[in-house]
Structure 1
Amino acid sequence: ILGLFAEQLVPGYKIRGRVEFRITRDADIPVDEEKEEDFVSAMAKILQNRMHSNPMRLEVSGKNQELIERLTKALDIDRDAVFEIPGPLNLKDLFSLASISGWEELKYPLWEARRPLPDDENIWEWISREDRLLFHPYESFTPVIRLLSEAAVDPNVLSIRMTLYRTSGDSPIVQALAQAAVEGKQVTVLVELKARFDEEQNMSWARALEQAGCTVIYGVEGLKVHAKALLIVRKEPEGIRRYAHLGTGNYHDKTAKLYTDFGLLTARTDYTHEIGQFFNSITGYSAVSRMRHLVMAPHYLKDKLLSLIEALIEQSKLGIPCRITAKMNSLADQDVIQALYRASKAGVVINLNVRGICMLIPGREFSRNIRVVSIVDRYLEHCRVFIFRAGETEDVFLSSADWMFRNLERRVELMFPVLSPPLKERIVDVLKVLFSDNVKAHVLGPDKVWERLNPPTPASAVRAQDLFHLRAEKERNLDQKAVKTDLEPIRRPKPFST
């Protein structure tokens, strides 16, 4: 629009040519955490300097080569780093148009999330009865928000500990944490200031939480804390009880409606004890130790993955049918990739669902038993699930970590087993559906080219996300029809007395 009416902005001049351009600058400006005494001030200075850091890429929309050459020279950028884009430079700018009312026929039909926790259900009893698995966004993120909101004002809650990597601009999570501190609870929050492009917002939240009375940890020296964990300690008639949430995605109420993720709510004693150990280690109260259930990066997670793969290799050599089924955002760690190649050659069947970067090459002589699928659909596929099966024995893990070097060796991450058999079965079924998708799925070939699948007939079409939505809708309808368990008898009215 500006281009069309440019001459009105500069009256008296004739516009000879125009281009739209966007500059990408180097955002990887490290902080010397050993030398900087005030880490927060150092991060603030880094953010200021980022606006003037070296240009790394120039994107242009337009055909005026003279202007493009002038921009290239002025920015002192290599010609190989100049990309001519035949269209809008930043499609993200158009995202807000989707929320404007009207033109409903051009939008996706509304997919309403199921609310697995009834409004009149006591949340503490609901979690205490059994482990709960949340599958976002088909199931609402509301139970997590409600858990924190009720904990904030519950007089029996003693303490809350939590990690925050990314959250929304008006986060109810942060509001609940601040309220809990105001109510006199011991609240400790690790806010990761090094979360790329969310540094400024996280600094703002950290200051707000400190002002409310929370103890704020500004990350861990030399590492990013990417694990998603929440632990609440509550006083009950039977004694002290701990409630926990672990997830594959961020505590972000907005992206929980757009990204697919799993969250586990539990009050299992052995589990919550280890989550307490995890928080003790990242807040400096104890050394990192090996745990029975939780596996922590960068100390133990990569070794655990490699040992699980090697164990299947040995089982497969004995003739036992073995299978690895995994879902993640990216696969790039060379040690893991080489281990998967060895497993393939040993006869282990490997199915990988990788949404983004995949440096593994399937279908070659050394990887003929490996299949790689990627699904690009309405929701961004974000959950990390790892399943290792030997014969009839199956281990199911959820994790905050992708199989990348940065996740396994440069970040604090968590991988945790799902112990409840019904929840394990549910996760296994989700991955089966994902690998049956033939509408929105792409398969990676041995030539390193992605090929989109097409159903042989309309009747055989399987779109995983649509199927998950239909299941959630069916469950929601059943929830609405469910009969209350507490029946209220009808009695004769008491006589009125004067």
Structure 2
Amino acid sequence: MTTEAVQTGSGPLAVGEPRFFNRELSWLSFNQRVLAEAGNPDYPVLERLRFLSISGSNLDEFLMVRVAGLAGQVRRKIEETSIDGLTPSQQLAAIREAVTAIELGQQAAWEVLQGQLAECGITIVGEGKRRDHGHARWLKDYFLEHIMPVITPQAIDPAHPFPFVANQGMGILFALNRVADGEELMEMVLIPSALPRFIRLPGEEAAYISVEDIICQNAEVLFPGFRALGHGVFRVLRDSDIELEEDAEDLVRYYRTAIQRRRRGLVIMLHLQGDFDPAAEALLRNQLGLDKAIVIKTDGLIGFSGLSKIVDEDRPELKFEPYSSRYPERVLEHDGDCFASIREKDIVVHHPYESFEVVVDFLRQAASDPDVVAIKQTLYRAGNQSSVIAALIAAAEAGKSVTAVVELKARFDEEQNLFWASQLERAGVQVIYGFVDWKTHAKVSMVVRRENGAYRTYCHFGTGNYHPITARIYTDLSFFTADPKFGRDAGKLFNFITGYVEPQKLEMLAISPIFLRERLYDCIDREIANAQAGKAAAIWAKLNSLTDSKLINRLYDASQAGVKITLVVRGICCLRPGILGLSENITVKSIIGRFLEHSRIWVFGNGADLPNRRAQVFITSADGMSRNLDRRVELLVPIRNRTVHDQVLSQVMLANLLDTEQSWLLAPDGSWRRMEKGETPFNLHRYFMTNPSLSGRGAALTSGRKVPKLALRRGNV
């Protein structure tokens, strides 16, 4: 299998031209790539709708966190510039323009998708769209029975205080005329979050209507004795970031109150739908206190994240073909005994192609195994229904010593993690909340087992969270080992988190914020030295984001020394590739497809062209961001076992470089373009869905069907 990755080069930087792309604008470019998949003709129509919905939820989070932070800097008159030299005010201005462009793109995509859905028998009914008599009767009954009892109209006048509009809250302002005396007044109806955004009408043919359309169509029922002159739908986003106070004495209590404060944060965005009455709009602007907020008006849909309800329509022919994860054959060869299979040889499990259930089984077996004496576990995000939590509780109830490091600072999962922490503590688990200033983002399980009169430590290191739902759609790596060196290092890691005992003389792992950056620098510098000595020098890396200016500058140094660098960066990338005299040896690509690329990998050539058996290969929980390298507890895990090394380097990493069907290339000016599929198109997701992994195959590797070998055409990547 071969392909070409063509990087368009550029001349040297002009005087004053920034060495980096802006972080926020790069993220918005990423969301544009997500939105572009809503128009991808290779995808079934409900999958295209899913991408439109994802682009909406992505944008909501960006506004509630990143834009809120910039607006706060402007209000506090903080003039600190970004790595590309822009002030917070300048960034906000550029963001407003980019957000408006994305919103227009979302409306255009929605318009096209409605037509495509209708051709497939899925219609969206609403204002100005035909409905049969049966639907009209049903809709009125539905409004009376399911909506009217839970909504509360409120007059907007001096006698009634302006109601509070919650974060991500939607409402409708009605301009009314009282029939009896002709008096005009304004009423607001806030739409409770408990109501479904889209309601499916009865019948075999799928027809949906938005909750706001049902309310607007029943204005006369809601306001008897009044005539509706007009209405306008609006949606509000608020500042949702939680800033940790350094002197917080009780993290649990602090986060419980902070979550409540978040729901009442300053308004960051006001979205207006329809021909909004000028007086009503002025009232909203005044009452919501729109300081530095973005205001967008549209005649189309607002709140695209709500489209996920329609994506759930039971039409399998309009979605990707269902995929069932494989269970690692090596574990099955040992009758499902995780410890026996790991004890035989290191293993890496590639999610979602291989089941996350093996990670859960590892913990379940530890909980029920009489020889297991202790379990230690980090938990960043565990989901709403967590089998991992259940296994830890079962272990504690079985008398094991169980320690769980629960990260309260996992954004938007704080409330769920507080709940899990209380459940774990109730079962007798020792719950630790880690560092006040640093998030514990490393993904580690450590099981201590009594064997032959001694103790043996089994470890799991992951690039993704212990979250059973995201493990079905995020590509991640789970590395299992019983190597004593890893076990000793894992023990030091937990002592660092629970007792602040800084680890000394680590044998395998590199831990941030104390060693990880330096380990990466050492590896990059070794490639620079190889290039300067006339040897082959190459770096491959796969990350979610690359924003740290120091790390980027180190990669620039490597490029200038002649090191060939290929980066797969799914989301934000502040590095400018292809600039003469700066980064002409760096290629950057992004992959957006059926699964969300989430695994993080670093590969260093070590004196030979890549891929090669001597290459240094690492998996990591850390992205190339300052927060990961300096303000989080992260792990960099070396891969030494020959079979696992081959899988991560010559299968997982190489397939990412070879992909042409889902890949985009970053140009020196910051624009992204889709890669040409070429004469032999390659889709890495399809490859892994149809081909087994290497290290998890066990005896099947030699006796079963061969895994197609991937290869590069030298000089093309």
Q: Secondary structure at the match of 1:371?
A: strand
Counterparts in 2 of 1:115 and 1:202: CA distance versus 1, 3 Å: same
* Residue 288 of structure 2 corresponds to residue 75 of structure 1: yes
What per-residue deviation string (whole Å, max 9, x for no partner) do you get for residues 269-291 of structure 1?
Answer: 11111111111111106223351
Aligned to 1:48: 260
Counterparts in 2 of 1:80 and 1:185: CA distance versus 1, 3 Å: closer
Aligned to 1:464: 684
* Residue 505 of structure 2 corresponds to residue 251 of structure 1: no
1:193-232 alignment, distance < 5 Å: 193-232=408-447
Counterparts in 2 of 1:382 and 1:17: CA distance versus 1, 3 Å: farther
Aligned to 2:674: 452
CA distance in 2, matches of 1:446, 1:364: 6
Aligned to 1:391: 607
Where structure 1 has 5 or more consecutive residues not aligned to the other structure, the ranges are: 484-498
Alpha carbons 1:401, 1:413 under 8 Å: kept: yes
Aligned to 2:213: 4
What is the deviation of 1:88?
4.1
CA distance in 2, matches of 1:58, 1:461: 43
* Residue 378 of structure 2 corresponds to residue 163 of structure 1: yes
CA distance in 2, matches of 1:225, 1:310: 28
Alpha carbons 1:145, 1:172 under 8 Å: kept: yes
* Residue 587 of structure 2 corresponds to residue 371 of structure 1: yes
CA distance in 2, matches of 1:370, 1:152: 47
Q: Which amino acid aligns with 1:219?
A: G
Where structure 2 has 5 or more consecutive residues not aligned to the other structure, the ranges are: 1-209, 609-613, 705-717
Identity %: 37
CA distance in 2, matches of 1:397, 1:97: 41
CA distance in 2, matches of 1:192, 1:85: 39
CA distance in 2, matches of 1:86, 1:184: 61
Counterparts in 2 of 1:233 and 1:85: CA distance versus 1, 3 Å: farther
CA distance in 2, matches of 1:411, 1:87: 41
What is the deviation of 1:76?
1.7
CA distance in 2, matches of 1:332, 1:18: 44
Q: Secondary structure at the match of 2:213?
A: coil
CA distance in 2, matches of 1:65, 1:348: 61
What is the deviation of 1:422?
1.4
What is the deviation of 1:343?
0.7
Pick the structure with greater CA Rg. 2
Aligned to 2:234: 21
Alpha carbons 1:7, 1:15 under 8 Å: kept: no
What is the deviation of 1:69?
4.3
1:73-222 alignment, distance < 5 Å: 73-78=286-291, 81-84=294-297, 87-100=300-313, 102-116=314-328, 117-118=331-332, 120-222=335-437
What is the deviation of 1:342?
1.0
What per-residue deviation string (whole Å, max 9, x for no partner) do you get for residues 65-117 of structure 1?
Answer: 634444333222146622346754444333354444x3111111012211103
Aligned to 2:662: 440
381, 388, 412: which one pairs with 2:633? 412
What is the deviation of 1:123?
1.7
Alpha carbons 2:405, 2:432 under 8 Å: kept: yes
What is the deviation of 1:423?
1.1
Alpha carbons 1:173, 1:251 under 8 Å: kept: yes
* Residue 479 of structure 2 corresponds to residue 270 of structure 1: no
Counterparts in 2 of 1:423 and 1:473: CA distance versus 1, 3 Å: closer
530, 539, 551: which one pairs with 1:336? 551
* Residue 244 of structure 2 corresponds to residue 31 of structure 1: yes
Q: Secondary structure at the match of 1:428?
A: helix
Alpha carbons 2:231, 2:277 under 8 Å: kept: no
Counterparts in 2 of 1:222 and 1:85: CA distance versus 1, 3 Å: farther
Alpha carbons 1:259, 1:382 under 8 Å: kept: yes
Q: Aligned residue pairs: how many?
A: 478
301, 304, 313: which one pairs with 2:519? 304
CA distance in 2, matches of 1:436, 1:14: 63
Counterparts in 2 of 1:321 and 1:412: CA distance versus 1, 3 Å: same
* Residue 279 of structure 2 corresponds to residue 64 of structure 1: no
CA distance in 2, matches of 1:394, 1:466: 26
CA distance in 1, matches of 2:663, 2:327: 28
Alpha carbons 1:72, 1:79 under 8 Å: kept: no
* Residue 566 of structure 2 corresponds to residue 351 of structure 1: yes
**Is the deviation greater in 6-15 or in 448-457?**
6-15
TM-score (norm 2): 0.64
Counterparts in 2 of 1:472 and 1:452: CA distance versus 1, 3 Å: same
What is the deviation of 1:434?
1.2
What per-residue deviation string (whole Å, max 9, x for no partner) do you get for residues 364-420 of structure 1?
Answer: 111111100001001111000000113233100000000001111111111110111
Q: Secondary structure at the match of 2:655?
A: helix
CA distance in 2, matches of 1:449, 1:239: 58
CA distance in 1, matches of 2:598, 2:237: 25
Counterparts in 2 of 1:98 and 1:207: CA distance versus 1, 3 Å: same
Counterparts in 2 of 1:285 and 1:369: CA distance versus 1, 3 Å: closer
What is the deviation of 1:340?
0.8
Aligned to 1:233: 448
Alpha carbons 1:188, 1:215 under 8 Å: kept: yes
Alpha carbons 1:320, 1:390 under 8 Å: kept: no
CA distance in 1, matches of 2:649, 2:273: 46
Q: Which amino acid aligns with 1:81?
A: I
What is the deviation of 1:238?
4.9
CA distance in 1, matches of 2:486, 2:564: 31
Q: Which amino acid aligns with 2:607?
A: G
Q: Which amino acid aligns with 2:600?
A: R
What per-residue deviation string (whole Å, max 9, x for no partner) do you get for residues 426-470 of structure 1?
Answer: 11122221112111100000110000113234xx11111111111
What is the deviation of 1:63?
4.5
Alpha carbons 1:160, 1:185 under 8 Å: kept: yes
Alpha carbons 1:72, 1:82 under 8 Å: kept: no
CA distance in 1, matches of 2:233, 2:674: 33
Structure 1 stretches of 4+ moved >6 Å: 473-476
Q: Which has the higher contact order (CA 8 A, sep 6+)?
A: 2
Q: Secondary structure at the match of 2:235?
A: strand
CA distance in 1, matches of 2:237, 2:572: 21
Q: CA RMSD in A?
A: 2.3
CA distance in 1, matches of 2:275, 2:593: 33
Aligned to 1:494: none
CA distance in 2, matches of 1:32, 1:179: 35
CA distance in 2, matches of 1:289, 1:425: 30
Q: Which amino acid aligns with 2:490?
A: I
Counterparts in 2 of 1:85 and 1:360: CA distance versus 1, 3 Å: farther
